[in-house]
Amino acid sequence: MNSAQLFNLTTAVYFVAMVMLAVVMVLRNRRLGILAVATVWCGFFAHSAAIGLRWIESYRLPGAIGHAPLSNLYESVVFFAWSIVLIYLLIDLRLRQRAVGVFVVPFALLAMCWAQLWGNDAIEPLVPALQSNWLTYHVVTCFLGYAAFAVGCAVSIMYLFKSASAAPKADKADDLLPSLEVLDALNYKAIMIGFPFLTLGIVTGAAWANYAWGTYWSWDPKETWSLIVWFIYAAFLHARLTRGWSGRRAAWLSILGFAATLFCYLGVNLIPAIGGLHSYGGG
C-alpha cells in the first residue's frame, strides 16, 4: 500500500466517523458516541501513517534528497485536515465534548475529499525557494493555527445553530450538544490556541522569506492576507478581553476570521490574477 491509497482509506474512515457522529446526535446514544470517536482515532492513525509513508517515499525518488510532505497544495491540505482532527481529539480527551465532532470532522473530511479529487498527489523535487528547514517550521505553525481556527469556526456554527433552536435553554440531560456557555468557551480557547501559532507562522515565514528572497517582508498577497487574518483574530481577542465580547458576536467574528483564513490559504494560491511569490503553493 502506498501513501495515496492510505490517504484514500483515511478519507473513507473519516466519512464513516462523520456518519456515526450524526447518528449519535439523532439517536442521542452516548455508547455509539464512544465508537464514533474510536473511528475518528482510527482515521487519525491511518492519516498519520500516510503522511509518514509519503515522507519516506520522497527519499525513494531517483536523485531526490527527501523532504517533509509539506511542499505543495495537496500536501498542505492533507496536513491541514490532520491538524484539525488532532485538535478535535485533544479537545475530546480533555473535555469529552464528543458532539463537537459532528461539526468539526466534516471540515477534515471536506479537506481530504478536495485533496483526493483535485489535488496533485505527485511527489516532486523541491524548488530552490523551498529547500530550507524554515519551510517545515513555517508550514507546521501556520497550519496548526489554521486548524485551531477551523475548530473555532465549527464550534461557532454549533453555537449559532443551538442559540437559534426553539428551546436553547432546555439543555436536557439527553442533549448531547454542549451548552452555549461551553461552546462559547471552546471558541475562545480554540482561537487562543490558534493565534500564537499563526503569529509564529508569520514570524517564521518572514525569516524564510529573508533566506529565500533576501527580504523579510515584501507585501506579497499571501503576506498581506496573513496580516489581515492576524488583525481579525487580534481584534477578537482584544474585544473579548477588554469589551467582554462573547456569544453570537464572538461566534460571527470567529466565522469571519476563518473565512479570511481560507481566502489567505486557498484564494491567494488558486486565483491566478492574484499570483505573488507563493504561486508554487497552488500546485
CA distance 22 to 280: 38
Domain ranges for the chain? 1-126, 127-282
Place of cell 439517536: 27
- How many other CB atoms are found less than 10 A from the CB of residue 273? 5
Residue 61 carries which DSSP code? S
Check residue 164 and give its pLDDT: 82
Supply 259's cell numbers: 473565512
Check residue 276 and give its pLDDT: 61
Place of cell 482515532: 41
- Residue environment code for 17-29, b if the CB has 16+ CB neighbours within 10 A, otherwise e: bbebbeebbeeeb
In this structure, which amino acid lies at residue 169?
K
CA torsion angle for 124, 129, 134, 135 (degrees, to 10)? -30
CA distance 105 to 99: 10
The pLDDT averaged over each successive group of 10 residues in the chain (283 residues) is 89 94 82 89 95 88 75 90 93 83 92 88 74 84 94 93 68 67 92 95 89 83 90 94 87 95 83 61 54
The contacts of residue 51 (CB under 8 Å, 6+ apart) are 3, 69, 78, 79, 82
